[in-house]
Amino acid sequence: MTDAHRLVTALMILLFFKYDSAQETSTEFLARFEREAKAIRNSWAEADWKRQTNITTENQAAFVKASLEYSKFSQAMEKKARLYLQNKNIDLTADQRRQLTKIADIGTSAQTDVEKLERYAKIKNDMASIYSKAEVCLDSGEKCLQLDPGLTELLHSSRDCKILSAAWQGWRDQSGKKMKDLFTEYVQLGNEAVQILGYKDMGDYWKSAYETPTLEEDVAKLFEQIRPLYEQLHAYVRRRLKAVYGAHIFPSSGHIPAHILGNMWSQDWTRIGEHVKPFKDKQSVDVTDEMTKQGYTTKRMFETAEEFFYSLGFPNMTETFWRESMLERPKDRDVVCHASAWDMAKEDDFRIKMCTKVNHQDLMTIHHEMGHVQYDMTYTDLPLIYRFGANPGFQEAVGDTIALSVQTPQHLKAIGLLQAEDSYDEETDINFLMQMALDSVAFLPFSYLVDQWRWSVFRGDTKPESYNEVWWDLRCRFQGVSPPVKRRAEDFDPGAKYHVPANVPYIRYFVSLVLQFQFYKAACVAAGDTGPLHHCDFYSNPDAGHKLRSMLKLGSSKPWPDALEQMTGQREMDAQPLVEYFQPLFQFLKKENGEDHGWTEDCPDNPPPCSNTAQRWRIRYTTAVLSLSLSLITARFLIART
């Protein structure tokens, strides 16, 4: 801050406090902020809800208007909060100072140029619209497919390499590629807005939510702690998929082609479980068929999740939740299907938006989203400014902590989704851990690298002409996954992932993966479970529930190490519980893989095509030779007969 800025600020403080006879005390200001913030946040949330559950031009315009009103309110409150913080004559409590600091930290709403603020809101809206409406036409005679459920199911069910490759590229052509210029402008406007608050760039602002100046270094250390486990999983999956698709589609660099992992972004590999299941004659803990057999509905799936939380001492969902949530995809309108939980900043109004399907994976997703809602409901008595997770990863981790317990064979038997007579031995145990690893361990590098890329973009290290190149450099390096077709500078593959156009920071998911195993182990210890960590089910245990609620009720009123200590007794994130959970699988994979693991850091220059021309000609040549030989033998036989 320059001397001129300091002088202006001092004069503002003097005028504000000396000549305003109606000046509020800091306590009065915080009370007024609470009332007004709830009203405007509810208006904004309602507009956002309508925009995402009914994509129309009118609803999009209404959301832009609501966002501008929210920004104007935030700007006014930010100015007042800073005056209190900068006045040394006011004796603020530690809690008041924390609240005022959070009120003053308004992010991109700090932009005072109305035209730029409107443009920024419109760009985010336009990118979200491109993503939500994108569809891929694989065949002129077939119906075009949206991401969910069409393309998602295709990537799950098809094993035709060419079709998978076409769907993979088509989605990126119709989503990310169309928004590259918008994203470039969004970066510029976002950086400019947060720089008003003193941040270097948007990445610097996002990282500030963790109140940890060494966040980048900390997550890098955590990733290295987990990396050996991921490398072994990658090697095993690569070898098993070669048996399915043929080694000819795999580059010699050791990477796995991105389109054959059962997921549009290769971020989790659960959909290829049947191909990499270690012991084929033993059961896997996927209860989709049993759910169908028992006539599970969407409502019953949500009630199952509700009952688990209730068994730990949490409240049931509110009447408003059941009335206002969107739990299935509507047939009469376009919606954003990406599952999400909503705190509407209004008494008893908590919702989930999800296009639910009756299957094992969605049952776990429901527990995840309901974890968000229970977090929101637990800290609802706190001031609104504290009604967030202790850090962004905490919010994501809570529901997944519950899901770790729900997915155990012990629990699935307890609720009747696995039969009591089903045998369970060491091989079945490895199958279970493999299934869990395909969901969580496989996701670790992707959840780590998305914001590595965005932080680089926000800093200006990665320019628009290099967006895609750097994106794939990171994916090849950390994930060991490579594109199935040649990528070019005009492509914008990061935009094909929801969280990029939706402006959602992503490192929270990596942090969440580490935290959920820490939380899970702490809950198991509280429940008195002394068996292998991956067998622990703390269902109906009040001590585990109390431990969890004591952390959640803090919201963001305290720095996250305080909340973590409340739950685990530790003040630092630690990946050791995750490593402990998967230790039996890790030993199995090392034995199976031997020295066959790893990949080069650089992407392959030319992705191998789905069809192997040389191999096809060899087959044709061999067939022709065999046919000719058979003809000669037959001729000789006939001559001999005559």
Tokens of 312: 């730990």
Q: Which residue stretches of 108-160 are H helix?
A: 114-133, 152-157
Q: What is the largest CA-CA distance in the chain?
A: 126
Report the alpha-carbon distance of residue 134 to residue 147 in Å, rounded.
7
Q: Scanning the structure block, which residue is given the tokens 């200001």?
A: 29
Q: 425 and 431 in contact (C-beta within 8 Å)? A: no
Residue of 156, 248, 275, 499 marked catalytic: 499
Cα–Cα–Cα angle for 155, 157, 161, rounded to 5 degrees: 60
Tokens of 608: 């191998």
Report the alpha-carbon distance of residue 157 to residue 615 in Å, rounded.
26
Q: Which helix (H) or strand (E) holds 184?
A: helix 180-195
Tokens of 206: 């996002």
Residue of 306, 369, 534, 597 marked catalytic: 369
The DSSP secondary-structure symbol of 252 reads: T
| Radius of gyration over every alpha carbon of the chain, rounded to an integer in angstroms | 27
Cα–Cα–Cα angle for 475, 478, 481, rounded to 5 degrees: 45
From first CA to last CA, the distance across the chain in angstroms is 108
Q: Which helix (H) or strand (E) holds 351?
A: strand 350-353
Per the annotation, the verdict on 595 as an active-site residue is no
Beta bridge partners of residue 341, listed in sequence order: 352
Report the alpha-carbon distance of residue 603 to residue 206 in Å, rounded.
29
Per the annotation, the verdict on 369 as an active-site residue is yes
Interior/surface letters 579-610, b for 16+ CB within 10 angstroms, e for the rest: eebbebbbebbbeebeeebebeeebbeebbeb
The beta-carbon contacts of 136-143 under 8 Å, at least 24 apart in sequence, are 136/166, 136/167, 136/170, 136/171, 136/173, 136/174, 137/170, 138/163, 138/166, 138/167, 138/170
Residue 275 is assigned to a ligand binding site: no
Instruction: Indicate the SS3 state at residue 339.
Output: coil
The beta-carbon contacts of 301-304 under 8 Å, at least 24 apart in sequence, are 301/356, 301/358, 301/362, 301/363, 301/366, 302/327, 302/352, 302/356, 302/366, 302/370, 304/363, 304/366, 304/415
> 345 — alpha (psi -120 to 50), left (phi > 0) or beta?
left
Residue 368 is assigned to a ligand binding site: yes
DSSP E strands in 413-529: the ranges are 481-482
Q: 378 and 552 in contact (C-beta within 8 Å)? A: yes
Tokens of 135: 């569809």
Closest to 537 (Cα-Cα) out of 407, 363, 400, 422: 407
Residue 259 is assigned to a ligand binding site: no
Report the alpha-carbon distance of residue 508 to residue 503 in Å, rounded.
13
Question: Binding-site residues, please?
Answer: 210, 368, 372, 396, 508
Question: Binding-site residues for Zn(2+), please?
Answer: 368, 372, 396
Catalytically annotated residues? 369, 499
Question: Binding-site residues for chloride, please?
Answer: 210, 508
